């Protein structure tokens, strides 16, 4: 399963170069500090510090361990998304009203958080987290879901999107927004959309909902969102998902080959699966080439070979210049005709 903290640091880079970074979560109804941090590219970097007035039960039971996890998570989020982002899980749930009927925030941590949302009129809790996200911070989603079921005035819905993965966001947006639309129509009231920190997936889904369903122009919705909450939604993922709907998500098969030099195992990471997963290549014993065929939608996809555990790029295939972290990746540009 996908878990970015297990990745070698050298492997982390944007999934699609057009996505320009990565997505993820942020801040709170009580966002209090924006602290400048030096970055390699100040123009493309965003600094976010999350502070909440309320304390979670996890904070009371083990602050140092929670702080350590928050630090690791923030580092991974910053490297994956191309923005300097800080999330403090130990400070509890945080959120912002984007519209009177729409909230974007961080994850619920205890069943008591359900009651906090009920008090501000939330009728739908829309969770985008996957199991590894929950396990990382020790969130018991089942107890939260079970408690929500006992409440007649609120519904908990889960639509998973892989963390730090712009392509997975692109692929899942149509189904996720469809589920969200039906829930809002059914439940009314205020909708609470959250991922882990509320900086990437949740604002991206909220932005897409405003664009596709509520009639906003994309950049108008983005301006409103950013005026309410500091976050980093993947605009190109939303644009590409919109194009996919309009074009019927056409795909094209690409072929990747690497000359064998006595390798034992050759894999690829990136492409459409994200940097946290790998696809094995097949060795043709007659031609002595390792190969992979993959069907991809239109776009530019970065990838890297993993040869006997070592991450590298193939200089006989198109490759990028060193990115801001000094890494060079191969890329495949897919153009679907007609």
Model pLDDT for residues 73-84, shown as the tens digit of each residue: 998 888 777 778
pLDDT of amino acid 338: 58
pLDDT of amino acid 63: 54
CATH class in words for 64-244 = alpha beta
Residue with tokens 């602050």: 63
pLDDT of amino acid 326: 80
In angstroms, the CA 321 to CA 23 distance is: 22
Homologous superfamily of 251-334 in CATH? Immunoglobulins (2.60.40.10)
In angstroms, the CA 275 to CA 270 distance is: 5
- The ranges of the chain annotated as CATH 2.60.40.10 are 251-334
pLDDT of amino acid 110: 98
pLDDT of amino acid 225: 98
Numbers of helices and strands, H then E, in the chain: 9, 13
pLDDT of amino acid 59: 43
In angstroms, the CA 114 to CA 51 distance is: 20
User: Reduced to 3 states, what is the DSSP secondary structure of residue 330?
Assistant: strand
- Kindly provide the b/e burial profile for residues 289-320, where b requires at least 16 CB atoms within 10 angstroms of the residue's own CB: ebebebebbbbbbbbbbbbeeebebbeeeebe
Q: Which residues are catalytic?
A: 195
pLDDT of amino acid 46: 41
End-to-end Cα spacing for the chain? 36
pLDDT of amino acid 335: 86
Q: Which helix (H) or strand (E) holds 312?
A: strand 310-312
In angstroms, the CA 257 to CA 334 distance is: 16
- The ranges of the chain annotated as CATH 3.90.190.10 are 64-244
Ranges of the chain with pLDDT below 50? 1-62
């Amino acid at each position: 399963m996908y878990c970015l903290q297990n990745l070698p640091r050298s492997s982390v880079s944007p999934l699609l170069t057009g996505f320009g970074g990565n997505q993820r979560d942020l801040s709170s109804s009580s966002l209090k500090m924006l602290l400048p941090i030096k970055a390699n590219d100040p123009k493309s970097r965003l600094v976010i510090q999350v502070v909440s007035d309320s304390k979670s039960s996890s904070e009371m039971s083990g602050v140092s361990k929670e702080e350590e996890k928050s630090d690791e998570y923030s580092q991974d989020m910053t490297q994956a998304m191309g923005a300097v982002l800080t999330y403090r899980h130990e400070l509890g749930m945080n959120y912002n009203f984007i519209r009177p009927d729409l909230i974007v925030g961080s994850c619920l941590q205890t069943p008591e958080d359900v009651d906090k949302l009920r008090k501000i009129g939330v009728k739908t809790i829309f969770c985008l987290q996957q199991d590894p996200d929950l396990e990382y911070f020790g969130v018991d989603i089942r107890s939260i879901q079970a408690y929500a079921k006992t409440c007649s005035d609120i519904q908990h819905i889960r639509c998973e999107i892989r963390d730090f993965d712009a392509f997975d966001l692109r692929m899942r947006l149509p189904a996720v927004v469809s589920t969200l639309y039906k829930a809002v129509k059914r439940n009314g009231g205020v909708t609470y959309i959250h991922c882990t920190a509320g900086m990437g997936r949740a604002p991206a889904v909220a932005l897409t909902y405003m664009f596709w369903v509520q009639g906003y122009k994309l950049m108008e919705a983005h301006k409103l969102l950013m005026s309410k909450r500091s976050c980093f939604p993947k605009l190109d993922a939303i644009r590409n998902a919109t194009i996919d709907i309009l074009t019927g998500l056409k795909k094209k098969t690409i072929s990747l080959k690497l000359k064998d030099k006595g390798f034992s195992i050759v894999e690829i990471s990136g492409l459409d699966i994200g940097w946290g997963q790998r696809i094995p290549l097949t060795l043709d014993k007659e031609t002595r080439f390792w190969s992979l065929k993959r069907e991809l939608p239109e776009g530019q996809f970065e990838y890297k070979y993993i040869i006997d555990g070592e991450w590298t790029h193939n200089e006989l295939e198109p490759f990028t210049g060193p990115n801001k972290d000094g890494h060079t990746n191969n890329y495949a540009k897919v153009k679907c005709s007609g």
